[in-house]
Structure 1
């Protein structure tokens, strides 16, 4: 679950998540579509949040 404390990492970096996006994003040269469900570690989700903001992640649940 995302932590709302300012400056914190919202996702546990070592946990695997299944997530959906509110909009398509490009991270590290990889385009992620909002139409698909994705899987990644919390570390990657934290990079998305740092780049695009917290609102870009529609949903994320531990796998």
Structure 2
């Protein structure tokens, strides 16, 4: 069994942690705002009934 599974993480959560670790390990001159802003994720959802979307996608808010 893989280490991320044993730790109770999903594969996406594991990738997020790994990417954040790599970004934080960059040299200071490489840590630009564009690079550091990549950890932000926007998610949307759409409700479906009988195979048809019921409106426009809405942002997923915590």
* TM-score tier after normalising by the smaller chain length: under 0.3
Q: Which has the higher contact order (CA 8 A, sep 6+)?
A: 1
Q: Which has the higher helix share?
A: 2
**TM-score, normalised by the number of residues in structure 2:** 0.27
Q: Which has the higher strand share?
A: 1
**TM-score, normalised by the number of residues in structure 1:** 0.26
